[in-house]
Amino acid sequence: MNKHAYVIIMAGGIGSRFWPVSRADKPKQFLDILNTGKTLIQHTYDRFLRFMRPENILVITHHQYVPLVKEQLPDLPEENILAEPSRKNTAPCIAYASFRIHKQDPHANLLFAPADHLILEETSFTKTCLEAFQFVNGRDALLTFGIKPTRPDTGYGYIQYEPQKNIDHIFKVKTFTEKPDLELAKTFLKSGDFLWNAGIFAWDVRKILEAFQRLQPEMYELFSAASEAMLTPEEPEVMEMTYAQCTNISIDYAIMEKAENVYVIPSDFGWSDLGTWNSAYENMPRDYLENAVAARDVLIVDATRCMVHSSGQRLLVLQGLDDFIVVDTPDVLLICKKDHEQEIKEYVAEVKRNIGEKYL
């Protein structure tokens, strides 16, 4: 692998839609959501180890989770863990990592990926990543991964590309659309030139810094000034002051939707963003009644199409439930209709308002 290629795993989110299993002190990327024996970040790290050197893999996360990263990825060099002092979305996260890597390798090519996504076809994923690195090397291009849609899903953002403007089957992006309603999603699917936005990006480090300078000049100046302290003992203190002044904004809004040099690589590697309990259900083995169970002691009687997750500290008996999410932890029991799962974030907010942060 090219010594100038780096992968940055973004692992700072809270994962509130997986509450009550995902909590502020241990969010979903550090959990074995799918009952596989490995956490999501461990799967992500191992996936990149197939074609990357450990020293060229970095993790950027909230400072609170640095001990979890060290515990779950013991082979990751400690200096490759970047600690964000606060959560300010993906644009500051990407600016921080890009400036830091640029300081040690100004010819770097970077690939940013979330820590908590599911990739079923790892060989195909490896091939796509290698193609992405080759495409952005020395090219004035910001590349995003687009997933070929299989259904009119309203939970994903969409990317429209221009079929006639392509380089080796990597296409110029025409438009970005945030989560559409069902009718619009059906139109997108039928048109054939829309892809799901996977939130995986690649670029030459110089080109992303140029994009920040052009499109987010205030953020660029903040991190440019802070870069003098990067890779020194003053880095944590300086980054705390930098983040305090940063806008909370995603890379999509900050850069990708504004830039002219954005391309997409159509991909098909068994991807899910694992954003909800329903997405976990869709990617787990199910019994003959279509129940997905991630638990040891569960007795199911005439229950169908349920997603069941338990800490295993007590027996669960389910009778007569159809299409429910049942999540049992030592201190919280959630029972929710699957088609109401988008409201789980609202339940978390309600718990915080009425009970406090004890269960968050």
Domain-embedded: residue 154:
yes
pLDDT tens-place string over residues 219-273: 999 999 999 999 999 999 999 999 999 999 999 999 999 999 999 999 999 998 8
Give the count of domains, the chain: 2
258 and 300, same domain (yes or no): no
In the three-class reduction of DSSP (H, G, I as helix; E, B as strand; rest coil), residue 17 is classed as helix
Domain of residue 42 covers 5-272
319 and 232, same domain (yes or no): no
pLDDT tens-place string over residues 140-191: 999 999 999 888 887 888 999 888 877 878 999 998 988 878 888 888 887 7
pLDDT score for 194: 87
Domain-embedded: residue 256:
yes
The mean of the pLDDT values for the chain is 92
267 and 283, same domain (yes or no): no
Place of tokens 């004890």: 358
- The CATH number given to whatever domain includes residue 194 is 3.90.550.10
Q: Of 248, 272, 296, at which residue does a domain stop? A: 272
pLDDT score for 104: 94
Buried/exposed 174-203: b ≥16 CB within 10 Å, e otherwise: eebbeebeeeebeebeeeeebbbbbbbbbb
Task: Give the model's confidence band at 1: pLDDT under 50 very low, under 70 low, under 90 confident, else very high.
Answer: low
Place of tokens 């059906």: 186
Domain-embedded: residue 360:
no
Domain-embedded: residue 215:
yes
Q: Of 250, 272, 294, at which residue does a domain stop? A: 272
Domain-embedded: residue 319:
yes
287 and 246, same domain (yes or no): no
244 and 336, same domain (yes or no): no
pTM for this prediction: 0.93
Average pLDDT value for residue range 88-100: 96
CA distance 2 to 128: 15
Domain-embedded: residue 79:
yes
